[in-house]
Structure 1
Amino acid sequence: MMQLGPTAICRELGVRYPIFGFSHAPDVIVALAEAGGFGVLGLAREMPEDIAPIIAAIEKRLAGKPYGIDLMLPAGVPRHADIGGVREALPAGHVEFVEGLRERFGLAAPTRPSFFTTQVRSEALFDAQSEAVLASNARAVATAIGIRPELIARAKAAGKYTISLVGSPRHAHKALALGVDALVAQGADAGGHTGPIGTFSLVPQIVAAAAGRPVLAAGGIGTGAQVAASLAMGAQGAWLGTLWLGALENHTPPALLKKLVEANSDDTLVTRAHSGKPCRVVRSAWIDAWQASGAPAPLPMPQQQALTGADFSAMHEYDRADLIYEAAGQSVFAIDAPTTVAVQMATLVAQANAALAALETTLSAR
């Protein structure tokens, strides 16, 4: 009987199951490693000086277990930028619109500093983040919505496994030309910054483009049957992000957790209102206001973050049930109650094994 077990990429990275989990929460990454998966820590929202202590703490807890780090490296941002300077140059109409939203919703300013209140994305920031990541013991380095040739070359020279998230065959060919070790075929179903091609259409194209290099399927995956389906399409595993938002280890704000538990796939949408680039989020009154007739078009990155980043932080700080949102994919349907990563992993493995057994039965009955 077929059972879910390690694929070639799992053996390369030293993990038991072909389940790769992206999360901003170190506790999730540790729990994934303990359950036999491969955790990938998102550090795109951290300041470079904070990355080293975060990494040191997580590596101490992992005690040698492998993990990865993910950075977001979009093109088109300025070489240098500070949030004050970007704010001063924002269009008056957009500033007035956001001030009107704050007044309408009674949203106070945040009291705690965060990446979104103090920083904007720039090439200088990416360089500093990359240096901190290269100095880590992370087994893998993944890049999302962007790729830097020097980072890939230096990561490979340091013995790190390199992974690129791609949303089209064109992006895949560019990453492969730079020598990345593996690709994540991220379909439009995915949470966060994503492209227009659906997962089931994208994965076979990226598998073909990869010509033997490992591919992971991503986008809308929240069940073990979907993990099994990823393998059936030629991927060597599945990359999940949204599902872990329902885990206690993610420390999701209560109002957001309740929203995610109650949400269905059609409660997510792709919007530029969060960052200035297409990003799938779970909707809220704040996001709906940007979709309404008469709302201005969101500004490009990094101006949109400078415009609304403090509001994003505020709605999380105050746990505003009406306004709070987060990047989330169509797999939100799989979050049906607060749980733990261990339970989620055990469920995924059991579901995958059941799906593989059912497939064997179906094929043998022919």
Structure 2
Amino acid sequence: MNKLCRELGIEYPIFAFSHCRDVVAAVSRAGGMGVLGIVAMSPEEIDIELRWLEENSGGRPYGVDIVAPVHTADRDAGLSDGEGMQERLEAMIPKEHREYAEQLMRRYDVPPLPESNGHKDWTTAGFTAAGGEEQIDVVLEHEHGLLVSALGPPPAWLVDRAHERGTKVGALVGKAHQAARNVELGVDVIICQSYEAAAHTGEIGGMVLVPDVVDAAGDVPVLAAGGIGSGRQMAAAMSLGAQGVWTGSIWLTCREAPAEPHEVERLLRMKSTDTVRSKSQTGKPNRQIRTAWTEAWDDPAGPGALPMPLQYMLYAEYTARAKRAGVQELVGGPVGQVVSRMTKVQSAKDIVFGMVEEYLETLQRMSAQLEALTEG
């Protein structure tokens, strides 16, 4: 469809971020590019998932999404050895924060997890320096078309190693100056993530951010992310200068997604205002479902969110308790404001084809308007 598609070997400039390999493979088979998020996976799990994608994506390209935060509790404390990381991080969680979470559990009558569950590792390894490098080492052993840094600029060594393997590197940004910095690092694709987006996102809306980032990126292609789930929205992004769209939330309710039926029904009922940009999940601003958990941690009277990954450790542990107890008021997760337009369950293939069809229809409608203007 355009130069970027030709360079990546895909038909449509639709990039689909998902933690589910089935969604990733389905989108790639349909002509877009599925991108697998691996932040919560161990190196062994990553190897299994990427081998599966190589065998089930129909020979089509796929991408991998990592996180490379500049500041986390382990990095700031100089902890570079992964051995015993869980225990050292747990020791950094203040008693007042754990007690605050316990008070919230008592308010909703959420019991502790049974002892039979054993010790749980609530750290997402990809948020830490040691764990992230272990993940990247495995990722670089596999063949894929795009490696994306979702949180912070990719390290220079990562850009070099990826380029040596013929892999393009992408980076998510929320401000124009971040785009310029990534271009200097040699990043091949800038993903411009606006305020409307799910997960870690900035403060600027897409109508302003996309053209700013396009101008800052120069000749480097830009993907628009945030609030995009239809062909009309795709056309708007492309008209602002983007060469493609980066999507995430719309795949949460597709048939291939692993969500439970009650989770899907909840998403289908949600409005854009049912989401909130909050530090309550990871310690960094993250758009997610508005819940009693987000309200509690955003309350000025509370102790405030901890730095990454300490806040995530609290979130993961206490969310697991709430899920087991069936207390949905406390259970959330990342989702963008586009959730208001997610009104039915479809296959990933149908979502891709529907976006492309509506995109072309929008272009035709705009062309007709241009003809009418010039004739007048």
Residues 47-73 of structure 1: CA deviation (Å, up to 9, x unaligned): 122111111112111142100000011
Q: Which of the residues 213, 221, 230 maps onto 1:223?
A: 230
Match of 1:85 in 2: 88
Alignment pair present for 1:194 and 2:201: yes
Deviation at residue 229 of structure 1 after TM alignment: 1.0
Task: Quote the Cα distance in structure 2 between the aligned partners of 1:56 and 1:114.
Answer: 27
Match of 1:47 in 2: 42
Quote the RMSD (CA, aligned, Å): 1.9
Match of 1:3 in 2: none
Match of 1:38 in 2: 33
Alignment pair present for 1:281 and 2:288: yes
Tell me the TM-score normalized by structure 2: 0.91
Identity score, percent = 34
Task: Quote the Cα distance in structure 1 between the aligned partners of 2:334 and 2:48.
Answer: 25
Deviation at residue 117 of structure 1 after TM alignment: 5.7
Match of 2:361 in 1: 354
Match of 1:131 in 2: 137
Deviation at residue 33 of structure 1 after TM alignment: 1.2
Task: Quote the Cα distance in structure 1 between the aligned partners of 2:264 and 2:322.
Answer: 13
Change (3 A) 1:144 1:205: same
Change (3 A) 1:114 1:52: farther
Deviation at residue 114 of structure 1 after TM alignment: 7.2
CA contact (8 A) 2:39 2:127 kept: no
Q: Which runs of 5+ in 1 are unaligned?
A: 1-5
Residues 84-123 of structure 1: CA deviation (Å, up to 9, x unaligned): 2222231111111101112222334554987636757311
Q: Secondary structure at 1:180's aligned position in 2?
A: coil
Alignment pair present for 1:238 and 2:245: yes
CA contact (8 A) 1:256 1:324 kept: no
Question: In structure 1, what residue type is equivalent to 2:60?
Answer: K
Match of 1:122 in 2: 128
CA contact (8 A) 1:30 1:61 kept: yes
Deviation at residue 293 of structure 1 after TM alignment: 5.1
Task: Quote the Cα distance in structure 2 between the aligned partners of 1:232 and 1:114.
Answer: 48
Deviation at residue 250 of structure 1 after TM alignment: 1.3
Q: Which of the residues 297, 321, 325 maps onto 2:304?
A: 297
Q: Secondary structure at 2:330's aligned position in 1?
A: coil
Alignment pair present for 1:24 and 2:19: yes
CA contact (8 A) 1:142 1:163 kept: yes
Task: Quote the Cα distance in structure 1 between the aligned partners of 2:270 and 2:119.
Answer: 29
Count, aligned residues: 361
Task: Quote the Cα distance in structure 2 between the aligned partners of 1:321 and 1:195.
Answer: 27
Q: Which of the residues 77, 84, 100 maps onto 2:103?
A: 100
Residues 253-296 of structure 1: CA deviation (Å, up to 9, x unaligned): 33322221111111111100000001000112222222335222
Match of 2:345 in 1: 338
Alignment pair present for 1:365 and 2:368: no
Task: Quote the Cα distance in structure 1 between the aligned partners of 2:257 and 2:272.
Answer: 20
Change (3 A) 1:118 1:134: closer
Alignment pair present for 1:57 and 2:52: yes
